[in-house]
Amino acid sequence: MTTYVIGDLQGCFEPLESLLSQIDFDPRQDRLWFAGDVINRGPDSLACLDFVKNASEQGHARMVLGNHDFHLLAAYAGLTRYQSKTDTLSDILNHPNVQDYVNWLRQQPLLIHEQSAVMVHAGIPPQWNLDQAKTYAAEIETALQRPDWDTFVMALFDKKGQQWSDNLTGMARQRYIVNAFVRMRYCDAQGALDFANKSAPQHPVPEADATTDSAPWFAFKQRQTRNWPIFFGHWSTLGAMDAFNVHATDTGCLWGGKLTAYALETHQRHTVRCPQAAQPKRSRS
Ligand SMILES: [Mn+2]
């Protein structure tokens, strides 16, 4: 049995099929973990979501929610403000079974912890230990599963939430939690999110400490989750990286890079080359 962590699909279905055939994926014994952003921007969002949903219902796959997956929930809930010309969600939104897709998606977690490995879409801020991260993820998962989830999602997108404090309550707290799990790249040692920093990360990424203003979330010396291997996607300009006990799996399939499957048991990376499905904008997400 092999468990493969698969990086951001973003609606690229053909590369997924090539990758599964390359790794000889056998649903009778292998498992797929999708790192989120399975949809949007690429040509086949519906096929990707359908595949992940079916594989999950048959017990072969799990996924965590990414920012683009949240974006679909928000679009369905009626939020129009953040819709973009480059969105490719209309096949899902106009599908007769859109409600099934949406209801399935809002049952998906923000964090998976299984077989001593952890997976999130963007990251876990340095000030949280794993138990805290799991508690905060569960807070959001519970809210998404409530009947009034749509009001919750609309309110999430209402304002920015970039600072964490243990005393935060209500939507400010939940906004920070979601931003950290699904959008974070750079932050400071206290976990204040820095969305203004659009720079490509240095290679190798230097270690950061309490005096560093802005660094990749995983690079802080005092990061509380450093003893757990963490798998994440979301950062295509970081590319394949195995350092700081974290494993970056978004290798830019959408942009003509590669799609990655990282085998948990053998620590091997498998990749396929992808045709370029979208033109990068100034800031990639
Ligand atoms: Mn993302």
- pLDDT tens digit at each of 285 positions of the chain: 999 999 999 999 999 999 999 999 999 999 999 999 999 999 999 999 999 999 999 999 999 999 999 999 999 998 877 778 899 999 999 999 999 999 999 999 999 999 899 999 999 999 999 999 999 999 999 999 999 999 999 999 877 778 888 889 999 999 999 999 999 999 999 999 999 999 989 999 999 999 999 999 999 999 999 999 999 999 999 999 999 999 999 999 999 999 999 999 999 999 999 999 998 765 554
Distance 224 CA to ligand 1 centre (A): 23
Distance 181 CA to ligand 1 centre (A): 10
Query: What pLDDT does residue 159 have?
Result: 73
Distance 206 CA to ligand 1 centre (A): 23
Distance 87 CA to ligand 1 centre (A): 13
Q: Which amino acid is at 229?
A: P
Domains of the chain: 3-273 (3.60.21.10)
Distance 40 CA to ligand 1 centre (A): 10
Query: What pLDDT does residue 283 have?
Result: 52
Distance 65 CA to ligand 1 centre (A): 9
- List the alpha helices (DSSP H) in the chain: 13-22, 45-57, 67-77, 90-93, 98-105, 130-145, 149-156, 170-182
Distance 37 CA to ligand 1 centre (A): 6
Query: What pLDDT does residue 183 have?
Result: 97
Query: What pLDDT does residue 282 have?
Result: 56
Query: What pLDDT does residue 79 have?
Result: 83
What gap in Å lies between CA 119 and CA 193, rounded to an integer? Answer: 19
Distance 282 CA to ligand 1 centre (A): 15
Ion ligand 1: residue ranges with CB closer than 5 A: 37, 66-67, 234
Distance 234 CA to ligand 1 centre (A): 4
Distance 31 CA to ligand 1 centre (A): 22
Cβ 30 vs Cβ 3: under 8 Å: yes
Distance 103 CA to ligand 1 centre (A): 20
Buried b (16+ CB within 10 A) or exposed e, 223-249: bbbbebbbbbbbbbbbbbbeebebbbb
* E-only strand ranges, 139-249: 186-187, 215-216, 230-232, 241-243, 246-248
Query: What pLDDT does residue 82 have?
Result: 73
